[in-house]
């Protein structure tokens, strides 16, 4: 089994102690909250872990995750991670707050994000969250399920 370093995401074969790659402690800090752990997981080397993290951050509704979700959209490790991050960002924020990002994505973002941004701009009132998780997926706003035709 592999364990990933909290500091560098390096792969290790032990759960605690120094990372073989960077020398930092592998384990997360004891005071790390669930949201902080999920934010950390957005950059996990395994895209499946990052996708699950993005989904959970949106479902939790903690605004602390907004900037990390924006970063996962702007510098995605994987296009499916970026799609889930955008979906969760829109669950936590409003189209009005994210209008600049959405317009930039709609004008020239990766295909999945472009379609998702176009739909969000067209479908949502500017002052309210786009939709709850189920409504957004049914409306086709999710980049993972709605735009690619592939459920994750």
The pLDDT tens digits of the residues spanning 121-152 come to 998 665 555 444 444 444 444 433 333 333 32
Stretch 87-112: mean pLDDT, rounded?
94
Residue that wins the pLDDT comparison between 25 and 77? 25
Q: What integer is the mean pLDDT of 92-108?
A: 95
Q: Which residues contact 149 (CB under 8 A, 6 or more apart)?
A: none
Q: Where are the domains of the chain?
A: 1-31, 32-147
pLDDT tens digit string along 52-78?
999 999 999 999 999 999 999 998 778
Contact criterion met (CB below 8 Å) for 51 and 80: yes
Percent of the chain with pLDDT over 70: 80
Separation of alpha carbons 33 and 90, rounded Å? 22
Tokens of 22: 């960077």
CB half-sphere exposure, 64, CA atoms < 13 A = 13
Distance CA 139, CA 90 (A): 13
The whole-angstrom separation of Cα 90 and Cα 22 is 35
Give the mean pLDDT of 86-99.
95
Contact between residue 114 and residue 83 where contact means Cβ atoms under 8 Å apart: no
**What average pLDDT does the segment 114-123 reach?**
94
pLDDT computed for residue 76 by the predictor? 74
Which of these, 44, 39, 47, lies nearest to 71 by C-alpha position? 39
Q: How far apart are CA 18 and CA 141, in angstroms?
A: 42
Contact assessment for residue 46 and residue 57, using Cβ atoms and an 8 Å cutoff:
no
Query: How many Cα atoms occupy the beta-carbon half-sphere of 90 within 13 Å?
Result: 33
């Amino acid at each position: 089994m592999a364990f990933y370093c909290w500091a560098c995401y390096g792969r290790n074969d032990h759960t605690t102690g120094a990372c073989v790659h960077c020398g930092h402690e592998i384990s997360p800090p004891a005071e790390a909250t669930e949201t902080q752990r999920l934010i950390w997981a957005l950059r996990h080397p395994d895209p499946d872990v990052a996708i699950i993290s993005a989904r959970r951050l949106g479902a939790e509704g903690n605004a602390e995750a907004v900037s990390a979700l924006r970063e996962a959209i702007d510098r995605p490790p994987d296009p499916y991670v970026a799609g889930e991050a955008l979906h969760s960002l829109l669950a936590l924020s409003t189209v009005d707050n994210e209008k600049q990002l959405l317009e930039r994505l709609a004008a020239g973002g990766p295909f999945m994000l472009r379609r998702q941004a176009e739909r969000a701009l067209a479908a949502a009132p500017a002052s309210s969250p786009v939709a709850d998780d189920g409504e957004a997926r049914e409306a086709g706003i999710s980049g993972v399920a709605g735009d690619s035709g592939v459920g994750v």
